Structures are given as structure tokens and as C-alpha cells.
């Protein structure tokens, strides 16, 4: 006689979750968001893209990213939707593939806007699913999953450098679309955690009061968004301006290669040191890295700058989002991503008046914003509640 009991759900290997999340982040962030950086010079020289339109396309992506993060806050069910993740991956591939099909600025703007929305949804869903799925496992696994962003940056940067020597800006976009399409089947089966049935406020005798630390974390992460995007937008151009040869064109690849193992390193360090202290440390290192090309000329400072920036910008995200999840604030990932997105929109606007003097002053402004983020992070460190009750849902 056969039992009528329902079959037990299969438990995924933690490394399977790592691979799926890393593929999603490589597609949505490493390529979907950042491939535009190495392709932009090609579009300037080959497609006649003006500097003003190039900046507006970047802004369109930032606005779309903010919109996607706000959707994650307003409609929490989307953050736990496998269909939303899969649909976003498919739409992202389409936006990348359609970019070379037109020379119309409005069409480019809309495509980058939609790409920003899908990148944010992929990021929020993938991070939420990863943090939930790996909660019971060694925390350094989260770092390897976040390393997917660095892998996507490095892979797309290498492909663009290779393509530009033999082909056109259109081929660069199609190559990035193909790479995203290859990553999509790996990310396809990443499963977000459903809303717990007993997640009503009355089921917990006392909610932890962590909003003081979370507000300081949100301020820090927002200012990091400002400083990071100024560096991410102008660092390569500043290096190209001061250094001749291969380093100028390959600086973004160096950033990606440095980012790839950095998240795992930071999460391993979190086993011995507190995450708020590591957040403060990583922000301080990043501020130095961003300022270096503005203060010192030559290839060595440029290379060190690319390494320090790559080694910290995803590490900051890994640590900040982990702290947000630990503090058990509802929809913490989406809230922090929204603050980061607001910072990314403000960054280019604040830096624009300085560009007439070259890129160095803009980099110094970016470094100063990261210093402000570090100051806010010190408030997170003060009497941080390292031991809380069981985590409910941080998404």
C-alpha cells in the first residue's frame, strides 16, 4: 500500500545556489548594467554617439534601476517570484540584442531604461533567494555568489576588447547579448523563498529594534552609490587620459578581475571580524583607490586604483546587504538597493559641473562621497546588535 504523504521537497546543494545566483548576477549586473562602460567609447567613434546622449543613456539605466528597486518595495511578491526572475532575464537579453538594431537616440534611451528595470529586479530577486538559501551554510558562499558580478564585468570587458579589434560596436552588443543568453539557463532554476505563512507581526513576541542601525546603513550605502558611480563612470576615462597603452582600455577588465574573488574574501574575513567594521574598512580603502589617479600620475597608481576599486565596490554591497538582512528590516535588500540607486542618479549630476576641468576633480568628489559613507558606517559600528533572534524575511 502506497503512502499518501506528499513527497519531500528536494534540498539543493549550496554550491548549486551559488552557481545559479552568480549566473543571475553576472547577467543582470556584470553585463546588463556594466557592459555599457566599455562599449561607450566604440559608440562614440563608430555610431556618432554624442557625449550628451551617452550620459543620458547612462542616466536612463540608473532611473530604470531605481524603478525596478522601488517595484521590489511596493510589490514584495515580485521579489519572491521565479516568473519575474525568468521574465527579467529574457527581457534583458532582448534589450542588449536590440541596441545595435537602431541609431535612434530615443530607442536607445528606452532600451537602457528597460535594461535598468530588469537588472534591478534580477539583482533583488537573486540576492534575496541567495541569502535565504545559504542562510544555514558558511557565509563565504554568499561572497562567491556575489563574485558573479565581477565575473560578468571581466567577461564582457574581455569580449568587447576582443571584438573591437576586428569588428564594430554592433558586434559588441550582440556578443554581450549572447553571453547573457548563455548565463540565463544556469540562473533559470534559482528559486526565491516563498513568504512564510506565519510571518504576521503577532507571531513574534517582540520584534528586534534595529532601525537605528539600518538608517545609518541606508545613509552609508546611499553615499556609496554616489561615490561608486562617479568612479565607475569616470575612472576608466581618467586612466585613459593619463596613461597610454593597454592599461587605459583594459582598466575595466582589471576592475572585474579584482571584483571576482573580493566578495568571498570579505565574507571570509567576516568570520573573524564584525561586518560593520569590515564595511568601514572597505569604504576607507575604496576612497583611497578612487582618489589615486587624481593625486598621482603614471601606470602604477592607475593599476592600483583599478584593483582597489574592483576589490571593494562589490565587497561593500555584499557586506551592506548582509548587514541589512541580519537587522531583519522588512524588504531590506530592496530598500538598500533603492538608496544605492538614488545615489547613482545623483552622482553624475553632482560631478557634471566639474568635468570642464577634466576628470580628476570628479574623482576627488567621488572619493569624498565614499568618505561620507564611511563616516555613516561608523554609526553602524556603535553597539551593533551582533546577536538577534531567528531571521524572518529581509526582502
Q: pLDDT grade, residue 242 (50/70/90)? A: low
Residue 195 sits at the vertex; the CA angle it makes with 189 and 200, to the nearest 5 degrees, is 170
* pLDDT tens-digit map of 44-91: 788 888 877 887 888 889 899 889 988 888 888 888 889 999 999 999
pLDDT at 154 over 90: no
The per-residue pLDDT for 145 is: 86
Backbone angles phi, psi at 384, to 5 degrees: -65, 135
pLDDT of 179-235, one tens digit each? 999 999 999 999 887 655 444 444 444 556 777 889 999 999 999 999 998 888 778
What is the arithmetic mean of pLDDT over 229-258?
Answer: 76
What are the structural domains of the chain?
A: 14-194 (1.20.1250.20), 210-384 (1.20.1250.20)
How confident is the model at residue 200, as a pLDDT? 43
Q: Provide CB contacts within 8 A for 27, sequence distance 6+.
A: 89, 92, 122, 152, 180, 183, 184, 187
Mean of all residue pLDDT scores within the chain: 84
State pLDDT tens for residues 295-339: 887 778 888 998 999 999 888 988 998 898 888 787 888 889 889
For the four alpha carbons of 103, 235, 248 and 172, in that order, the dihedral sign comes to negative
Q: Quick check: 237 pLDDT over 80?
A: no
Q: What is the reported pLDDT for 393? A: 43
Poorest-confidence range of 70-74, 147-151, 159-163, 286-290? 159-163
Q: pLDDT grade, residue 1 (50/70/90)?
A: very low
Evaluate if residue 280 carries a pLDDT over 90. Answer: yes
Q: What is the pLDDT of residue 236?
A: 74
Q: How large is the average pLDDT for residues 18-28?
A: 93
Assign 354 a pLDDT band (cuts: 50, 70, 90). Answer: confident
Amino acid at each position: 500500500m502506497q503512502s499518501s504523504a506528499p513527497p519531500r521537497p528536494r534540498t539543493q546543494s549550496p554550491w548549486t545556489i551559488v552557481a545559479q545566483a552568480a549566473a543571475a548576477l553576472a547577467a543582470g549586473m556584470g553585463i546588463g548594467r556594466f557592459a555599457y562602460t566599455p562599449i561607450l567609447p566604440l559608440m562614440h567613434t563608430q555610431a556618432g554617439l554624442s557625449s550628451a546622449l551617452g550620459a543620458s543613456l547612462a542616466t536612463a539605466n540608473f532611473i530604470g534601476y531605481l524603478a525596478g528597486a522601488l517595484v521590489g518595495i511596493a510589490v514584495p511578491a515580485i521579489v519572491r517570484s521565479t516568473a519575474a526572475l525568468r521574465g527579467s532575464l529574457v527581457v534583458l537579453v532582448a534589450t542588449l540584442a536590440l541596441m545595435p538594431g537602431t541609431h535612434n537616440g530615443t530607442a536607445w534611451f528606452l532600451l537602457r531604461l528597460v535594461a535598468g528595470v530588469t537588472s534591478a529586479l534580477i539583482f533583488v530577486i537573486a540576492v534575496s533567494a541567495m541569502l535565504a538559501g545559504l542562510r544555514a551554510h558558511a557565509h563565504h558562499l554568499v561572497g562567491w555568489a556575489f563574485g558573479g558580478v565581477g565575473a560578468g564585468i571581466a567577461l564582457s570587458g574581455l569580449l568587447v576588447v576582443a571584438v573591437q579589434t576586428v569588428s564594430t560596436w554592433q558586434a559588441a552588443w550582440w556578443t554581450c547579448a549572447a553571453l547573457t543568453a548563455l548565463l540565463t539557463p544556469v540562473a533559470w532554476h534559482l528559486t526565491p523563498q516563498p513568504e512564510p505563512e506565519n510571518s504576521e507581526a503577532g507571531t513574534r513576541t517582540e520584534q528586534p529594534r534595529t532601525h537605528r542601525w539600518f538608517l545609518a546603513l541606508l545613509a552609508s550605502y546611499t553615499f556609496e552609490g554616489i561615490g561608486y558611480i562617479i568612479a565607475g563612470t569616470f575612472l576608466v576615462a581618467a586612466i585613459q587620459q593619463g596613461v597610454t597603452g593597454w592599461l587605459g582600455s583594459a582598466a575595466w577588465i582589471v576592475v572585474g578581475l579584482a571584483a571576482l574573488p573580493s566578495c568571498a574574501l570579505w565574507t571570509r574575513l567576516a568570520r573573524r571580524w564584525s561586518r560593520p567594521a569590515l564595511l568601514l574598512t572597505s569604504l576607507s580603502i575604496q576612497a583611497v583607490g578612487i582618489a589615486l589617479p587624481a593625486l598621482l600620475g603614471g601606470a602604477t597608481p592607475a593599476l592600483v586604483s583599478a584593483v582597489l576599486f574592483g576589490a571593494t565596490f562589490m565587497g561593500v554591497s555584499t557586506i551592506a546587504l548582509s548587514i541589512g538582512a541580519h537587522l531583519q528590516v522588512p524588504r531590506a535588500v530592496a530598500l538598500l538597493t533603492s538608496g544605492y540607486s538614488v545615489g547613482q542618479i545623483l552622482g553624475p549630476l553632482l560631478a557634471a559641473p566639474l568635468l570642464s576641468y577634466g576628470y580628476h576633480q570628479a574623482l576627488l568628489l567621488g572619493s569624498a562621497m565614499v568618505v561620507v559613507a564611511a563616516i555613516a558606517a561608523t554609526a553602524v559600528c556603535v553597539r551593533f546588535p551582533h546577536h538577534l533572534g531567528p531571521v524572518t524575511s529581509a526582502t
